[in-house]
Structure 1
Amino acid sequence: MTEVDSLEISNFKRKLEVEFDIKELGKMKNFLGMEFATSKDGIFVNQSNYVLDLLKETGLTGCKAADTPIEPNVKLKTAATNEVMDKAHYQRLVGRLIYLVHTRLVIAFAVSVVSQFMHSPEPTHFEAVFRILRYLKRTPGKAILFKKGEHLMIEAYTDADWAVDVNDRRFTSSYCTFVDENLVT
Structure 2
Amino acid sequence: MGGTDIGEIQQLKSLLDTKFSIKDLEYLKYFLGFEVARSKAGISLCQRKYTLGLLQDSGLLAAKPCPTPMQPHLQLHKSSGSPISDPTTYKRLIGRLLYLTHTRPEISYAVSKLSQFLDSPTDAHMLAGLHVLKYLKNSPGQGLFFSASSPLTLKGYSDSDWGACPDTRRSTTGLCFFLGTSLIS
Q: Percent identity?
A: 40
CA contact (8 A) 1:152 1:180 kept: yes
Could you say if the C-alpha distance between residues 75 and 150 of structure 1 is closer, same or farther in structure 2, counting changes exceeding 3 Å?
closer
2:133 partner letter: L
Higher mean C-alpha deviation, range 82-91 or range 165-174: 82-91
Structure 1 residue 79, shift from structure 2 partner: 3.0
CA contact (8 A) 1:154 1:179 kept: yes
- CA RMSD after TM alignment: 1.9
Aligned counterpart, 2:13: 13
CA distance in 1, matches of 2:20, 2:70: 46
CA distance in 2, matches of 1:68, 1:129: 12
CA contact (8 A) 1:45 1:103 kept: yes
Aligned counterpart, 2:49: 49
CA contact (8 A) 1:79 1:120 kept: no
Q: Which ranges in structure 2 are unaligned for 5 or more consecutive residues? A: none
Aligned counterpart, 1:83: 82
Could you say if the C-alpha distance between residues 178 and 18 of structure 1 is closer, same or farther in structure 2, counting changes exceeding 3 Å?
farther
TM-score by length of 2: 0.91
CA distance in 2, matches of 1:150, 1:14: 33
Query: How many pairs does the alignment contain?
Result: 184
CA distance in 2, matches of 1:62, 1:149: 39
TM-score by length of 1: 0.91
Could you say if the C-alpha distance between residues 18 and 151 of structure 1 is closer, same or farther in structure 2, counting changes exceeding 3 Å?
farther
Aligned counterpart, 1:24: 24
Aligned counterpart, 1:60: 60
Q: What SS does structure 2 have at the residue aligned with 1:114?
A: helix
Q: Which ranges in structure 1 are unaligned for 5 or more consecutive residues? A: none
Q: What SS does structure 2 have at the residue aligned with 1:117?
A: coil
Aligned counterpart, 2:137: 137
Q: What SS does structure 1 have at the residue aligned with 2:102?
A: coil
Structure 1 residue 153, shift from structure 2 partner: 3.6
